Amino acid sequence: MAFAEFRPLDEKSLVEYIKVVPSLFSKLGNKLDGLTIKEVGDGNLNFVYIVVGPDGSFVIKQALPYIRCIGESWPMTKERAYFETVALKEQGHWCPDHVPEVYHFDRTMSLIGMRYLEPPHIILRKGLIAGVEYPLLAEHISGFMANTLFYTSLLYHSTTEHKRAVAEFCGNVELCRLTEQVVFSDPYKVSQYNRCTSPYLDHDAESVREDNALKVEVAELKSKFCERAQALIHGDLHTGSVMVTLESTQVIDPEFAFYGPMGFDVGAFIGNLILAYFAQDGHADDGNDRKSYKEWILRTIDETWNLFHKKFLALWDEHKDGSGEAYLPAIYNNSEVQHLVQKKFIEELFHDTLGFGAAKMIRRIVGVAHVEDFESISDAEKRANCERRALELAKLLLKERRKFHTIGEIVSAIKQVQ
Amino acid sequence: MAFAEFRPLDEKSLVEYIKVVPSLFSKLGNKLDGLTIKEVGDGNLNFVYIVVGPDGSFVIKQALPYIRCIGESWPMTKERAYFETVALKEQGHWCPDHVPEVYHFDRTMSLIGMRYLEPPHIILRKGLIAGVEYPLLAEHISGFMANTLFYTSLLYHSTTEHKRAVAEFCGNVELCRLTEQVVFSDPYKVSQYNRCTSPYLDHDAESVREDNALKVEVAELKSKFCERAQALIHGDLHTGSVMVTLESTQVIDPEFAFYGPMGFDVGAFIGNLILAYFAQDGHADDGNDRKSYKEWILRTIDETWNLFHKKFLALWDEHKDGSGEAYLPAIYNNSEVQHLVQKKFIEELFHDTLGFGAAKMIRRIVGVAHVEDFESISDAEKRANCERRALELAKLLLKERRKFHTIGEIVSAIKQVQ
Q: What is the DSSP string of A135-164?
A: TTHHHHHHHHHHHHHHHTSTTTS-HHHHHH
Distance from CA of B93 to the nearest CA of A (A): 23
> Is residue B385 pLDDT above 60, yes or no?
yes
CB pairs < 8 Å spanning A and B: 123
Residue type, B342: Q
Cis geometry, peptide bond prior to residue A120 (ω within 30 degrees of 0): yes
Going across the sheet that includes A36-39, the strands are A36-39, A47-53, A56-62, A111-114, A102-106
Q: What angle do CA A87, A326, B187 make, to 5 degrees?
A: 160
Q: How far is CA B360 from the centre of its chain?
A: 10
Say if CB A294 and CB A277 are below 8 A apart: yes
For B196-211, what is the mean pLDDT?
98
* A56-70, A193-207, B279-293: range with lowest mean pLDDT: A56-70
Yes or no, beta carbons of B331 and A164 under 8 Å apart: no
* Portion 177-196 of A in contact with B at CB < 8 A: 177, 180, 185, 188-190
pLDDT above 90 (res B371):
yes
Pick from A168, A212, A328: CB nearest B336: A212
pLDDT at B1 (0 to 100): 52
Point out the residue among B159, B215, B222 whose CB comes nearest to the CB of A226: B159
Cis peptide before A199 (omega within 30 of 0): yes
Mean pLDDT for B184-206 is 97
Shortest Cα distance from A216 to chain B (angstroms)? 6
pLDDT in tens, A263-311: 999 999 999 999 999 999 999 999 999 999 999 999 999 999 999 999 9
Is the Cα dihedral B92, B97, B99, B101 positive or negative? positive
Cα–Cα distance list, A256 to A69, A262, B11, B35, B167 (Å): 16, 13, 54, 59, 17
- Note the pLDDT tens digit of each residue in A356-382: 999 999 999 999 999 999 999 999 999
* Among candidates B168, B190, B341 on the partner chain, residue whose Cβ is nearest the Cβ of A330: B190
CA B206 to chain CA centroid, Å, is: 27
On the CB side of B72, how many CA atoms lie within 13 Å of its CA?
0
Residue of B nearest to A332 (CA): B215
Predicted pLDDT of residue B66:
85
User: Does the pLDDT value for residue A43 go beyond 70?
Assistant: no
Q: Is A226 on the interface with B (CB under 8 A)?
A: yes
Q: Is A332 helix (H, G, I), strand (E, B) or coil?
A: coil
pLDDT class of A1 with cuts at 50, 70, 90 = low
Mean pLDDT, residues B333-339 taken together: 98
Could you tell me where the DSSP H helices lie in A284-400? 291-318, 335-366, 372-375, 380-400
- A173 reaches B (C-beta below 8 A): yes
Enumerate helices (H) and strands (E) in chain B, giving the number of each.
15, 12
pLDDT of B42 over the 70 cut: no
Q: What is the pLDDT of residues A315-334, one digit of tens each?
A: 999 999 999 999 999 999 99
Range A86-109 average pLDDT: 98
Q: Does B337 touch chain A (CB under 8 A)?
A: yes
A415 touches chain B (CB under 8 A): no
For residue B44, is pLDDT > 70? no
The predicted pLDDT at position B32 comes to 93
- DSSP reduced 3-state for A62: strand
Nearest in space to A152 (alpha carbons), one of A252, A229, A238: A229
CA distance, residue A126 to nearest chain B CA (Å): 34
Residues of chain B with CATH 3.30.200.20: 11-114
Q: Name the closest residue on chain A to residue B177, using Cα atoms.
A: A159
pTM reported for the whole predicted model: 0.97
Q: So what's the pLDDT on residue B67?
A: 80
Q: How far is A138 from chain B (nearest CA, A)?
A: 29
Tell me whether residues A223 and B344 touch, CB distance under 8 A: no
Amino acid sitting at position A95 = C
**Most B CBs within 10 Å: which of A77, A328, A338, as the mutation test of the B interface?**
A328
How confident is the prediction for chain B on average, in pLDDT?
Answer: 96
What SS3 state is found at A251? strand
Minimal CA separation from A5 to chain B, in Å: 26
Shortest distance between the Cα of A227 and any Cα of chain B, in A, equals 5
Q: A122: which strand partners?
A: A244
Q: Name the β-bridge partners of B62.
A: B47, B111
Does residue A68 carry a pLDDT above 80? no
How far is A227 from B153, CA to CA, in rounded Å? Answer: 10
Check whether domain B11-114 has CATH 3.30.200.20, yes or no: yes
On chain B, the residues whose CB falls within 8 A of the CB of A223 are 154, 230, 326
Please enumerate, as own/partner, the contacts of B189-194 that have beta carbons within 8 Å and a separation of 24 or more: B189/A328, B189/A330, B189/A331, B189/A333, B190/A330, B191/B368, B193/B367, B193/B368, B194/B366, B194/B367, B194/B368
Q: Which residues of chain B neighbour A75 with C-beta distances below 8 Å?
A: none
pLDDT digits over B127-166, tens only?
A: 999 999 999 999 999 999 999 999 999 999 999 999 999 9
How would residue B72 be classed by pLDDT, with cut points 50, 70 and 90? confident
Nearest residue in A to B216, CA atom: A341
At B43 the pLDDT is: 62
Residues 6+ apart with CB under 8 A from B382: B281, B282
Closest CA of chain B from A327, distance in Å: 7
Residue A223, min C-alpha distance to chain B (Å): 7
How far, in Å, CA of B121 to CA of B243, rounded?
6
- Interface membership of A220 toward B (CB under 8 Å): yes
Which residues 122-151 of chain A have a CB within 8 Å of chain B?
Answer: none
CATH 3.90.1200.10 residue ranges for chain A: 122-416
Place A66 in a pLDDT band, splitting at 50, 70 and 90: confident
* Confidence bin at A74 (pLDDT 50/70/90): confident
H/E element, A104:
strand A102-106
Q: Is A343 on the interface with B (CB under 8 A)?
A: no
Best residue of A76, A77, A160, A212 to probe chain B, by most B CBs closer than 10 Å: A212
What ipTM, to 2 d.p.? Answer: 0.96
Q: Flag whether residue A161 sits within 8 Å of chain B, measured between CB atoms.
A: no
CB contact under 8 A, B222 and A326: yes
> Among the residues of B27-180, which ranges form H helices?
80-94, 124-130, 137-151, 159-170, 173-179
> Is CATH 3.90.1200.10 the right assignment for the domain spanning B122-416?
yes
Does position A70 have pLDDT exceeding 80, yes or no?
no
d(CA B198, CA B16): 47
Task: Determine the pLDDT at residue A42.
Answer: 66
Q: What is the pLDDT of residues A112-159, one digit of tens each?
A: 999 999 999 999 999 999 999 999 999 999 999 999 999 999 999 999
Provide the residue type at A236 as one letter.
D
**A332-356 tens-digit pLDDT:** 999 999 999 999 999 999 999 999 9
Helices B291-318 & B407-416 angle (0-180, nearest 10): 160
Rounded to 10°, the helix B291-318/B335-366 angle is 140
- How far apart CA A272 and CA A374 sit, in angstroms, is 11
> Of A46, A85, A42, nearest to A67 (Cα)?
A46
